[in-house]
Amino acid sequence: MTDPVNRLLPEDGRCRLCGATVDQRRIGQESAVKYGQWLFRCGQCAGAYLAPGLTKAASHRFYAQDYRRLFPIEAARAYDDAYLEQIAARQTGLHRAGMVQAGIPLQGAVLEIGCGTGAFLGQLHRLRPDLQLYGSEIDRRIAGCALDGAPLTWLPPDDYSGRSYDLIALFHVLEHVDDPRTQLSTLRDLLSPGGRIVVEVPDSLAAASRSWKAVHPAHLSYFTARSLDRLAACAGLKEVTESTEQPVPMIPGVIWREWQANPAPAPLPLASAEEVALVDRLLPAPSGSARNRLTGLAKRTALWLLGPERLGPSLRRRAYRQVRKLHARPFAGNRPARKQILGVAIDPLTMDETVHLARRAMRTGTQLVQADVNVAKLFMMQDDPALAEAVNHSDIVSADGMGILLAARFVGADLPERVTGIDLMERVVQLCAEEGFRPFFLGAKPEVVEATLHRFRTRYPALQPAGYHHGYFSPQETPAIVARIAKSGADCLFVGMPSPAKEILLTQHRGALGVAFAMGVGGSFDVVAGLRRRAPIWAQRAGLEWFCRLIQEPRRLGPRYFFSNLRFLGLLLRHRLGGQ
């Protein structure tokens, strides 16, 4: 708790994101530092924000005293190479630099606001030594420690005028800004013709980041994909048309946007009632759940016992383990090459990357068919040439089962993570609700697919399905169903049918279906509809989801698992002995 002085600016009742003054819902009071701020939800743009703002004295005190207590993960005795390796700074900087460097003209000017360690600018200099680099950073303890000799002109915060820029980068900065709309409008006027603003912010609706659990004075704005797009429109920006396949940011649970100046700034686009309802459903009070409070208590206890500098390294090793693993893959500018695993070519893509490609396909109308492989399907493909051909001709082939990941490590072709069909479907359905894409559901019994649709509509009120149809139809009925899907104008298609029927249908009719993104989801409709229980999260992470399915259906799955696992072990042994 701070001293009993005036810490807050006058409250003006305006949304921090869009400036609206009506339909501002007060959610709850910030409880991490208890400066007296409240979390609000805007009914106009469906964003969320903390208000009122802090005075300069209170803001200075927060960053000088409270910030490292809230974020001991950033505390270190020395901000040296060991620290940079722990947070994967150079790897992240290289990935970001690779995503943007191709669009910057020769000898162009690049500005990064809040450049932190300078890893992005340092790696960008490695790729493009011709560029003029500018940066600003308030925290002088870490400023530039990862520049690695890159020539950088330091600018004072909030004073970037006097020149134009071909690229302005704000990586995890916009959520800290008092007035993000005015900030973006100001930066728009500093762009050279054809210049871009690149933004990366936490996605408050993403399960990987769910920012609502960490409401504190450092994060003043909480973005969804749509609220961020509305903010850009109000600031006179439009999204750059995507023409090449760039990988998604490696940090999970973020929104990445690239904008250009819009000659005709748009008025405030209002959020739909369904979208506001979705944010309200996922927006708890700032105090968080009982689990979050217990986690906070454990962190405060460890902080009291060890101190931030000694606690920081252990937190960084855990938090950035997956990021370092993902960055270990070489960056190629496009999708990484497929890995050959026991005769099957599999794409080494993360869940976030796969969702990113699905979004791009739906935005551009480019057809993209996704298939997945587990141990059972691996053997089905060996016995069924039609299934093997359908899977191999899919645009994305994902590792669905833990057995495939283990096999990949065994043969020296490591995959980043599982991309399960049901989780991918959930993510894409959420994306449809957030960005207005229309899905079609095909498969299962009539009552099951109807229940699935009802569950998704309840979970995501903004979802606008293009249609649905059960999966019990004859081959003679297939052309009429394919025509119905095409006529529906669906952006994506989920096929809840068994293998090989779903793969063959998507391969044989991909052109006639007329959908941008399509995937088979097997029995996932049964799980969504509540007819079958999925394994708990701990079992999924431990690779024991198959065991939970076995308990539910021992007679059907017991023999299949037994013989397929024996065959799988034999296949691995033959590979080890040089039989493949």
**pLDDT tens digits along 325-342:** 666 554 434 567 788 887
Q: How confident is the model at residue 3 (pLDDT cuts 50, 70, 90)?
A: very low
**Comma-separated ranges of CATH 3.40.50.150 domains in the chain:** 74-218+226-270
Rounded to an integer, the average pLDDT of 269-276 is 82
Cα 535 from chain centroid (whole Å) = 23
Tokens, residue 334: 């496009």
Residue 253 CA to residue 203 CA, distance in Å, equals 6
Highest mean pLDDT among 220-229, 281-290, 373-382, 446-455: 446-455
**What percent of the chain is predicted at pLDDT more than 70?**
83
Tell me: the pLDDT tens digits for 241-269? 654 444 566 677 788 899 999 877 667 67
Q: Is residue 144 packed enough to be buried (19+ CB in 10 Å), middle (13-18) or exposed (0-12)?
A: buried
For the chain, give the mean pLDDT: 83
Peptide bond into 202 cis (omega under 30): no
CA distance 271 to 473: 39
Residues pairing with 132 in the sheet: 109
**Contact by Cβ (8 Å): 54, 8:** yes
Cis bond before residue 4 (omega within 30° of 0): no
Question: Bridge partners of 344?
Answer: 341
pLDDT score for 484: 96
**Which residues, in sequence order, are CB contacts of 311 under 8 Å at separation 6+?**
72, 75, 302, 303
What does the pLDDT look like over 558-568, one tens digit per residue? 676 666 667 77
> Torsion angle, CA of 427/429/434/435, rounded to 10 degrees?
110
CB 430 within 8 A of CB 363: no
Average pLDDT over residues 418-434: 91
Per-residue pLDDT, 1:
40
Given a cut of 70, whether residue 518 has pLDDT beyond it is yes
349 with 372: CB under 8 angstroms?
no
Of the candidates 279, 122, 126, 111, which has an alpha carbon nearest to the alpha carbon of residue 187?
111
Residue among 201, 248, 253 at smallest CA distance from 227: 201
Residue 209 in this model has a pLDDT that exceeds 50? no
User: Is a pLDDT exceeding 90 seen at residue 152?
Assistant: yes
pLDDT for 107: 95
Tokens of 266: 């748009």
| Centroid of chain to Cα 169 | 19
Q: What is the pLDDT of residue 540?
A: 61
> What are residue 289's phi and psi, to 5 degrees?
-80, 170
pLDDT of 523-558, one tens digit each? 899 999 988 776 666 556 656 666 666 676 777 766
- Quick one: average pLDDT of 198-220? 74
Res. 196 pLDDT band, cuts 50 70 90: very high
pLDDT confidence of residue 521:
94
pLDDT digits (tens, 9 = 90+) for 475-486: 999 999 999 999
- pLDDT for 125: 96
Are the C-beta atoms of residues 57 and 51 closer than 8 Å to each other?
no
Name which of 308, 341, 368 is nearest 491 in CA terms: 368
Contacts of 562 (CB under 8 A, 6+ apart): none
Tokens linked to 187: 């930066």
Binned at pLDDT 50, 70 and 90, residue 148 comes out as very high
Give whole-number Cα distances, 215 to 119, 287, 527, in Å. 27, 8, 33
Q: What is the per-residue pLDDT for 575?
A: 67
Torsions phi, psi for 467 (to 5 deg):
155, 180
**Cα distance between residue 357 and residue 354, in whole Å:** 5
Q: What is the value of pTM for the model shown?
A: 0.73
DSSP 52: S
Cα gap 425→398, rounded to integer Å: 13
Residue 395 exposed, middle or buried by CB count within 10 Å (0-12, 13-18, 19+): middle
Angstrom distance (rounded) from CA 171 to CA 197: 11
**Residue 203 per-residue DSSP state:** B
Cis before 500? omega within 30: yes
Determine the 3-state secondary structure of 173 from DSSP: coil
Q: Residue 204 has which token pair?
A: 């408050």
Per DSSP, which regions of 159-279 are E strands?
165-171, 191-202, 221-222, 237-239, 254-261
- How would you classify residue 399: left for phi > 0, otherwise alpha for psi between -120 and 50, otherwise beta? beta
Whether the Cβ atoms of residue 381 and residue 391 lie closer than 8 Å to each other: yes
Cβ pair 564, 375 in contact under 8 A: yes
Across residues 349-372, what is the average pLDDT?
A: 89
Q: Reduced to 3 states, what is the DSSP secondary structure of residue 579?
A: coil
Task: Write down the pLDDT at residue 173.
Answer: 93
How many Å is the Cα radius of gyration of the chain? 25
Strands 132-136 and 191-202: unpaired
Distance of alpha carbon 401 from alpha carbon 482, whole angstroms: 30
Candidates 3.30.1540.10, 3.40.50.150, 1.10.10.10, 2.160.20.10; CATH matching 74-218+226-270: 3.40.50.150
Q: What is the bridge-based pairing of β-strands 221-222 and 48-51?
A: antiparallel
Taking the C-alpha atoms of residue 397 and residue 384, their distance in angstroms, rounded to an integer, is 17
Q: What is the DSSP string of 131-144?
A: SEEEEE-S-TTTTT
